Amino acid sequence: MKTLHPLLRGSRFLFVLSMLCSAASALCDMLSPQIIRVAVDVVLGDSAPEGVLATALAGHLTGMGACALAILLVALTKAFAQYGFRVANTAASERLVKTARDQLFEHIEHLPYSWHTQHRTGDIIQRCTSDLETLRGFISEQMTGILRILILLTLSVVFMFSMNTKLSVVALSPVPVIIAYSFFFHRKIGEAFLACDENEGILSSIAQENLAGVRVVRAFGRERFERDRFYRQNEHYTQMWMKLARPLASFWSIGDVLSGTQILLTVCYGAVLCVRGEMLPGAYIAFLSYAALMTWPVRMLGRMISQMSKAGVSLDRLSEILNAEVEKNPENPATTDYSGDITFEGVSFSYGGRDVLSNLSFTVPGGTTLGILGGTGSGKSTVTLLLDRLYAPDRGSIRIGGVDLQDLDAAELRRHVSMVLQEPFLFSRSLADNIAISGGDDAEEALRAACLTDVDPGTFVGERGVTLSGGQKQRAAIARALVRDTPILVLDDSLSAVDTETDAAIRANLREKGSGRTVIIISHRIATLRTADHILVLDDGHVVQEGSHAELSRQPGLYRQVCEIQEMTA
């Protein structure tokens, strides 16, 4: 209920209205058999009415015309109630889904970066679609009918006992069995549905990954491998649903047998009572109507118990998202001069295993350019993620302008830091829209600085920038970062796919455009790093060398080795 309560915001009144309409429809169902009973026993049979309600109706229904008119009025009332139920219930369920989607999207947007790295995109999408639809179906189809079920069950039992106690006991004898086996299947269905739901998430992830990486799959000729992988998972998913179908089939089959047995016992024993004169024909007809009406709510109650298993699984999976802790900010965020020095002091960080960074310390004076060189896995990209507070250091501190990052507001920090990640991500929009995402104004100047004037800003780049080359995607990401005039710019190996001439032109434009800006450049290309004011060489999360290009190129070590290799291959 803690999870469900906020999701019902805006739809709670509509659900209550639909339940009231459903209750009104149930009351109409209860009234019709009594009118028929009076028509048969009192109007046609000329017998004295039995029971308070029958007596009250007999005082007004003095002829068959009056009985027919009463039946018509009850039917019209029921029709209007059902119409109101459908309209209110549909509006409520759609409002529920909209509210839930809005809350899920808003919450997911504010979850820590580490949470996203631990959850598959396909599984998240499946929870926000399939699981949400399961929850919507349970609330709109089962929960809204609970008042109708209670009215039908309660009044049916009351009216049946008021007409004949013996026949009521016979008619109600299968009900405890129906309730008992419903609870038995509740657990089995819940376990099977959880397995189906989890496997649907895996299947969605495979499809999502292949659609996003279709160029890689085609380039390496892995269509058959990926197809077979999808087929295997799809077959496993299908088998899981077939496994779930068995307890569901047993559940409904047993219910049919019990319901049929209930009607059979009622019809046969009721006929015997009528022949003996212990029951009037009108009362017998009304009793059969109530017995039939009671069969539906009893089965619906059983179905509600079984569907509750599915809804519970879906709600738990949605709760895992909604209850995940969002990124926290300090209660009273500090402010700082983002043009000041950036200081890493004794920073250590790991992704759950061995340290990626270990006791890392360095300072980037404000307004200068820092270059970082290192092999794969040396921790270069981790430095940028920590600087943007996408991760928090396990030990040590990172300060900008003398203020610890953990004391700053995360959104404010990121408004002052422009990042170009190692793998640029472009949205399925035009080039101009992708650049405008960062919130800057002068897109034309940003495109010029990124040397991307050869591409029309109105060009639709496709999913993940599929219509652009690797170099164009990197330059688009650089333009997106440059369109905001932020005091800190981070380029994480973002010039690797451009040629050396374009690389030099972009760096020249950065120096021209970024005077007074603190720039951190990560690259494997010495030509990109040589103009930096200071260069760090990382190895296994440690600083093994530092200095200017001139100093490092004279020192024995990794930097000079890379220089010599690149000069030989130039």
pLDDT of residue 399: 94
Average pLDDT, the chain: 82
pLDDT of amino acid 249: 78
pLDDT at 125: 85
Q: In order of start, what are the domains of the chain with their CATH numbers?
A: 4-322 (1.20.1560.10), 342-569 (3.40.50.300)
- CA 202 centroid distance within chain: 15
DSSP label at residue 463: G
Could you tell me if residue 324 is left (phi over 0), alpha (psi between -120 and 50 degrees) or otherwise beta? Answer: beta
Q: By mean pLDDT, which of 19-23, 182-186, 491-495 is the weakest?
A: 182-186
Residue 53 has pLDDT above 70, yes or no: no
How far apart (Å, rounded) are the C-alpha atoms in residues 307 and 442?
A: 55
For residues 384 and 356, what is the distance between their CA atoms, to the nearest angstrom? 13
Amino acid letter for position 407: D
For 356-362, what is the mean pLDDT?
A: 90
Give me the residue label for tokens 């009234």: 31
pLDDT > 70: what percent of the chain? 91
pLDDT at 84: 92
* pLDDT value for 70: 85
- Nearest-Å Rg of the Cα atoms of the chain is 36
CA distances from 282 to 41, 42, 148, 153, 254 (A): 5, 8, 25, 21, 31
* pLDDT number for residue 370: 92
Each residue of 215-265: pLDDT tens digit? 677 766 778 888 888 888 888 888 888 887 777 777 777 777 877 787 888
Q: Is the pTM of this model over 0.75?
A: no
165-168's contacts with Cβ under 8 Å and 24+ in sequence apart are 166/269, 166/273, 167/266, 167/269, 167/270, 167/273, 167/279, 167/287
Backbone angles phi, psi at 369, to 5 degrees: -115, 125
DSSP-derived letter for residue 47 is P
Under DSSP, is residue 396 helix (H, G, I), strand (E, B) or coil? strand
Confidence of residue 60 (pLDDT cuts 50, 70, 90): low
Helix (H) or strand (E) holding 28: helix 12-38
Distance CA 317, CA 512 (A): 51
Amino acid at 131: D
48-77 average pLDDT score: 75
Return the minimum-mean-pLDDT range out of 53-62, 169-178, 205-214.
53-62
Looking at residue 59, its pLDDT comes to: 65
What is the four-CA torsion angle of 255, 257, 259, 262, rounded to 10 degrees?
-140
Write out the two tokens for 446: 């940003």
Which of 145-154, 279-288, 361-370 has the lowest average pLDDT? 145-154
List the beta bridge partners of residue 535: 371, 547
Confidence of residue 121 (pLDDT cuts 50, 70, 90): confident
| Each residue's pLDDT tens digit, 534-546 | 999 998 888 999 9
151-to-67, 69, 156, 157, 287 alpha-carbon distances in Å: 24, 24, 8, 10, 16
The answer to whether 99 touches 132, Cβ cutoff 8 Å, is no
CA proximity to 518, closest of 340, 336, 386? 340
Locate 36 and state its tokens: 């028929």
Mean pLDDT (whole number) for 488-503: 81
- The pLDDT score that the predictor gives to residue 79 is 93
Least confident of 81-95, 419-433, 485-499, 504-518: 504-518
